[in-house]
Amino acid sequence: MITLVRRSIKDGVVLAAKNQMRLTLLSGVGNPINVIYLNSILSLSFTASETPISASGDVKKWRPAGADRGFTFLKYNLTISYHRTNLLARYGRWSANANGGVLESLGYKEGYRVDVDVPDGTWAEAPSFHDILIFNTGHCDFYLAFHSSVRWWAPSKFDPVKSPMLFFEKGNPVVPPQSLDRGLGMISYVDKRMRPGTTVFMRTQSPRHFEGGDWDQGGSCQRSQPLSPQEVEELFSIQNNGTNVEVRLVNQHLYRAFEGTEFHILDISHLSEFRADAHPSTAGGKKHDDCMHWCLPGLTDIWNDLFVAYLNNLEHRT
């Protein structure tokens, strides 16, 4: 059993080095949680070596395959990088054509065009470069390439009325929107483009812990201890329709969408639901309580424990 975060990251570094791996943290959504996750694994990687690592001589800073940032640990030939994008699919502003069209006939005047079968350029080359990829969901712009008109988590960014997502496939509007479970158009792209032997993960939703309302409704997270099982259900139960219910709703769709694919599910959601005490809260420097991001060191280090344990388990199967 892996019990120490630093030891588990060291095991992961050695495992990656033995197989000459390039490891990428591939962000499906441009969400700061992924930067926290990146900083966690980078910090632990710097301290995983038996001998001190010099940032100037032992680590190369670069941006492989269009990454937003990346580092190579020369001793282990291990590259860790981060690709930031708001959606996995290519998207941009859309405005109605004066000559009319399918969407115009439905009353749409503006919004965001999302080409569900075309990857965003920020990560398109990553599957053919890296040996391990970690995709993820996010809070703000969860719709990775879903054909969906269900509940929207961040109307301030993709308002279903003022700035809706308008889905296109093969250059044509998708009308009416298809079901959420059928919408991950990027799965087949990854399957076709990834290197032989590549291991691909989808990390599940990172839970929020707003109590008494959402972030813009006076919600707060003043806990100093983890939640009890009963308190977790009160906040996250789908039946209770709690403030933070989207975590489990999104994960339900994820499990169905990725069933039968090459993706492994890295489930960090349920264990994280207990950690209402692990957010910056009033120390986040915001006008409202930060009950979404995580403190470092902290919970994201445990996510890395799970990740490395999963890698070890996969290696033992082969």
Cβ-contact 219, 243 below 8 angstroms: yes
Q: Is the peptide bond before 155 cis (omega within 30 degrees of 0)?
A: no
Per residue in 244-299, pLDDT (tens digit) is 888 898 888 888 888 888 899 999 999 999 999 999 998 867 788 999 889 988 99
Cα 93 to Cα 211: distance, rounded to the nearest angstrom = 34
Among left, alpha and beta (phi > 0; psi -120 to 50; other), residue 243 is alpha
Angle in degrees, 0-180, between the axes of helices 32-46 and 299-317, rounded to the nearest 10: 70
**Predicted TM-score (pTM) of this structure:** 0.82
In a domain, 313, yes or no: yes
Q: Report the sign of the C-alpha dihedral through residues 284, 270, 200, 29, in that order.
A: negative
| Backbone φ, ψ for residue 55 (5° rounding) | -65, -25
What is the structure's pLDDT at 103? 93
For the chain, the domain total comes to 1
In a domain, 139, yes or no: yes
CATH number, domain containing residue 136: 3.40.50.1110
Cα 73 to Cα 76: distance, rounded to the nearest angstrom = 6
In a domain, 93, yes or no: no
What is the structure's pLDDT at 48? 61
In a domain, 16, yes or no: yes
What is the structure's pLDDT at 51? 60
In a domain, 14, yes or no: yes
Q: Which position has the token pair 């988590």?
A: 153
Reading the block at residue 178, the tokens are 């298809």
The C-alpha R_g of the chain, in whole angstroms, comes to 20
> Whole domain around residue 227: which residue ranges?
5-88+122-148+182-317
In a domain, 41, yes or no: yes
Which residues in the chain show pLDDT less than 50? 1-9, 14, 17, 27-30, 140-156, 181-183
What is the structure's pLDDT at 20? 52
**Within 13 Å, how many C-alpha atoms sit on residue 185's CB side?**
23
What is the structure's pLDDT at 144? 39
Q: What's at 253, amino acid-wise?
A: H
